Amino acid sequence: MPGSLSLARGSRVIRPLVVRALSSRSDMPVPKNAAAPGHGKPRLLIVGGVAGGASAAARARRLSESAEIIMYEKGPYVSFANCGLPYYVGDVIKEESKLLVSSPEVFRNRFNIKVHSCAEVTAVDPKARTITVKYSDGREVEEPYDKLILSPGARAIKPPIPGIDLPGIFTLRTIPDSRKVKEWIEERSAKSAVVVGGGFIGMEMAENLVELGLKVTLVEGASQIIPPMDGDMVVPMQQAAEAAGVKVALNQMVQSFRADGGSDSIMVQTSTGNEHEGDIVILGMGVKPRTELAQSANLKIGKKGGITVDEHMRTSDPNIYAAGDAVETVDYVTGEVVVLPLAGPANRQGRISADNALMDFFEAEAADGGGAAITRPEWVGRPHPRFRGVQGTAVCGAFGVVTATTGASEKTLQRLGIDYDVVKLHPVQHVSYYPGAKPIHIKLVFAKSDGRVLGAQAVGAEGAERRIDVFAAAIQAKQTVYDLEEMELCYSPQFGAAKDPVNMAGMIASNHLRGDSPVVDWETELELVKEGANRESLLVDVREPGEFANESIPGAVNFPLSQLRDRVLELAATADGRRVHVHCGVGLRAYYAARVMRMNGIDAYNLTGGMTSYKHAKAAYDN
């Protein structure tokens, strides 16, 4: 029970009253350290009761019935769905209880795990192998451990901006946070809101506030929303947000917050001199790892600010493991050390940390020859599970648009100097003849040398996340674009196509690498368009004359695909030995045209993704 005195082996209250708790062996003195090797019953303490910690606790029990497992959570709830908080604020999730994935009672009754909520672990002593726990009633208790797993999570970033602690300014990390936001909106009949930060949480909050009837301004310091993705791939979501009435203010860093005494609203002043007014302000400025406990234990902290762990989730202390948003890990694609606060990796890390904590304990028992054989699990001696790293697979849905990503973005590869190529395509999520077909905008980045899949992004109303999951699996398997060509995926008219968008992406990329239909990206072309008549390539639009007359790119000439074979000599003369950059609406007709041109001796390149990609790239370029 929260606030109750633990009577577990080795516990002792250290302030304000010193009490020696009962030992599991009443004739023995309470040990300062955890039990010596040979007792066969590991004492596993877990700090943090949400994603990583809860996963570790449940996994540990599934591995060992003899282990004593105790979990401590600073807040009032364990294993809650913090990813669902924006939807609780927006009344999509009606009942707060729906956010509770599990409870202390479930952990106790189903898993025989002791859970202490409202119990803050304030210090770790690795030499004594103890932690200090502060309960809500003020008691502080020292608890010994054999193995310790830290999963303290991350805290919302609140920079030292003037006025940031004003009433009406909120972060959203916990259920009590969401409750406060709802109460503020309801009690003050809020009509407007400013959301600071255009990441996943910012976009989800903006949508839910709009659904509540608030006028929303979204302030983002970068030149795009959802900064981890490439700018051209988030344009559709930004446009959808603006169509829903959201004012999107990019390239604006918040300088200060101040209360408007006349209206009880909050004024948000930015680096551009603009002021944005809201009855409530939601901060979605990212998170940073909670490392205070790790620092108190003198554990190694990495350059990115997270706890350093190896692939088995061991910290720099052999008896302490860590998992979740507080740890540093390795980017599976680039090899870069990163901190990635996502629920999926946190859950997997929690599971792996539990495996290795217990494996290490029982292997040490076996090596020392101690412990009853019956307490030693059958898995002692098997290979230790390892965490492979992260690839940033994530999805966000807002304003009727889904954006999803996995692996490395173009800008990440550019920053790291990794050589790559890119293709873009705009297929529909299922066959076009079946009702409800809607486009998916896909970007695939791959190694120029061997075609290995490095990353993918997709955006659309339906089906984007499904394709990104496939690309994510391909990245894990170190597959190439040639593998994507041959990938066998499910097909029925209402669910896909005989050539799935994943297959199509692989085919386009493979055609490029083989030289059958090489592509040029629009970011390069936009620079050439600026050069005008001095450019060293010819820009050719192969759409029909009516389409060309309706909209075209400056400097483009029109050679419709339907006329191309009859005019190929005219085109060759117009090109006069220059490269020809070909485009159409989405890239398909340009592919056909480029093949005709190349087989007639014209050095043709397909502008990947056609006019649709041009519009997205130009919008991002103009930002």
Contacts of 495 (CB under 8 A, 6+ apart): 430
- Share of the chain residues as helix, strand and coil, in percent rounded to the nearest 5: 35, 25, 45
Report the pLDDT value the prediction gives residue 536, as an integer from 0 to 100.
84
Mean pLDDT of 13-24: 35
485-509 pLDDT, tens digit per residue, is 999 999 999 999 999 999 999 999 9
SS3 (DSSP) at 425:
strand
Q: How far is CA 300 from CA 121, 335, 336, 386, in A?
A: 19, 19, 18, 19
Mean pLDDT of 311-339: 98
How would residue 532 be classed by pLDDT, with cut points 50, 70 and 90?
low
Q: Which helix (H) or strand (E) element contains residue 180? A: helix 175-187
195-222 pLDDT, tens digit per residue, is 999 999 999 999 999 999 999 999 999 9
d(CA 449, CA 23): 63
CB 44, CB 147: distance < 8 Å: yes
Mean pLDDT of 607-623: 93
The tokens describing 76, both together, are: 């009032």
How would residue 14 be classed by pLDDT, with cut points 50, 70 and 90?
very low
Candidate from 20-24, 595-599, 616-620 with smallest mean pLDDT? 20-24
Report the pLDDT value the prediction gives residue 513, as an integer from 0 to 100.
98
d(CA 350, CA 372): 28
**Percent of the chain at pLDDT above 90?**
85
How would residue 528 be classed by pLDDT, with cut points 50, 70 and 90?
confident
How would residue 46 be classed by pLDDT, with cut points 50, 70 and 90?
very high
How would residue 10 be classed by pLDDT, with cut points 50, 70 and 90?
very low
Mean pLDDT of 438-456: 98
Mean pLDDT of 263-268: 91
65-88 pLDDT, tens digit per residue, is 999 999 999 999 998 998 999 999
Strand order in the sheet with 275-278: 254-260, 265-270, 275-278
Please, what are the domains in the chain?
12-17+43-155+290-373 (3.50.50.60), 169-285 (3.50.50.60), 400-513 (3.50.50.60), 519-622 (3.40.250.10)
How would residue 18 be classed by pLDDT, with cut points 50, 70 and 90?
very low
pLDDT value at 260 more than 90: no
Report the pLDDT value the prediction gives residue 16, as an integer from 0 to 100.
37
Mean pLDDT of the chain: 91
d(CA 148, CA 126): 9
d(CA 423, CA 509): 6
Enter the pTM of the model.
0.91
Strand order in the sheet with 12-15: 19-20, 12-15, 140-144, 130-135, 119-125
- Cα 456–Cα 459–Cα 465 angle in degrees, nearest 5: 70
pLDDT value at 311 more than 50: yes
555-590 pLDDT, tens digit per residue, is 999 999 999 999 999 999 999 999 999 999 999 999
Contacts of 378 (CB under 8 A, 6+ apart): none
How would residue 333 be classed by pLDDT, with cut points 50, 70 and 90?
very high
Report the pLDDT value the prediction gives residue 525, as an integer from 0 to 100.
85
Taking the CA atoms of the chain, what radius of gyration do you get in angstroms?
29
Report the pLDDT value the prediction gives residue 2, as an integer from 0 to 100.
39
354-396 pLDDT, tens digit per residue, is 999 999 999 988 777 655 444 567 777 789 999 999 999 999 9
Mean pLDDT of 451-464: 98
The tokens describing 446, both together, are: 């791959």
d(CA 471, CA 406): 7
Output phi, psi for 522, to 5 deg: -70, -25
Report the pLDDT value the prediction gives residue 4, as an integer from 0 to 100.
36
